[in-house]
Structure 1
């Protein structure tokens, strides 16, 4: 417990509103199919890194939804957002959840499947 006069350091406050991730570029051009495979693999293995399965499911639903629905999902699941683009979140028990950008948005160098 902290002192009555103590306060959190700037940057430690949870984020209330989420935002779309900033544009990013993959190390090499990838196809939509490759991106889908990367996402599927991440979501299939994510619960094995710790945290609660229902929080991972809520994060997946939020990552795949539009920003308004994503905000509602995050709020209703009690997820604490540390970075507004959802790359770092916590559950109410303090477990940390890190999401790679590729599950949140497409890279700028995405190519169409041939």
Structure 2
């Protein structure tokens, strides 16, 4: 990546002059994350992997600038535009169009080019069938599973001690997760009776109309399941 220095002075500029030079460079307030369409759509998990690889393989430019760009990018992805702007300003970066996709400059005038997927998935992201899988029966709790970004895998422990690993999507309610647990239980154990699965976390029954995250669940925590006949 090339670096275009905006000054040809042979002696270091005093701090006041440097600050003035930076303030006169064209820049615009950051814009919300832009929507875009990929000519070759990929899954959300693929974009998440490419995003991580991009940030971890930057070898040109200044490390502290890449760190600031990554932090600002995460804020933009999360809708925290004001916080992203604060990070950009504190790092002395300028964004001529207000859009990271069009290039960012550091205080030495070096340009940093960023791909669109670094800050947002495309509108036409592909949801693979295995990413939307309902239940993975008998899956060891720590086995790696590919899931939609923002979703996750929860280990549900049945009364007899066996575990069912359930993939869930962003915004999916506890009632939906419980239905997937029921689908993963051996039919012989149901003994032909209509049963209901109630999920419990940290000793309390979870609200079926809310998500796991909304009720304090954290990645890696085990949720208990109470299976009983419907009345």
| Same fold flag (TM > 0.5) | yes
Match of 2:69 among 59, 69, 94: 59
Match of 1:70 among 74, 84, 98: 84
Structure 1 portions without partners, runs of 5+: 2-12
Q: CA RMSD in A?
A: 1.6
Match of 2:99 among 68, 77, 85: 85
Q: Which residue does 2:4 correspond to in 1?
A: none
Q: Which residue does 2:123 correspond to in 1?
A: 108
CA distances 1:53-105 after superposition (whole Å, capped 9, x unpaired)? 00000000000002111101001110111231112011101111011111111
From the CA coordinates, give the structure whose radius of gyration is larger: 2
Distance in 1, matches of 2:95 and 2:74, equals 16
More strand by proportion, 1 or 2? 2
Conserved 8 A contact 1:80-1:90: yes
Q: Which residue does 1:8 correspond to in 2?
A: none
Q: Which residue does 2:224 correspond to in 1?
A: none
Moved runs in structure 1, 4+ residues, more than 2 A?
A: 111-114
Do structure 1's residue 29 and structure 2's residue 41 form an aligned pair?
A: yes
Aligned residues, how many? 101
- TM-score, normalised by the number of residues in structure 1: 0.80
More helix by proportion, 1 or 2? 1
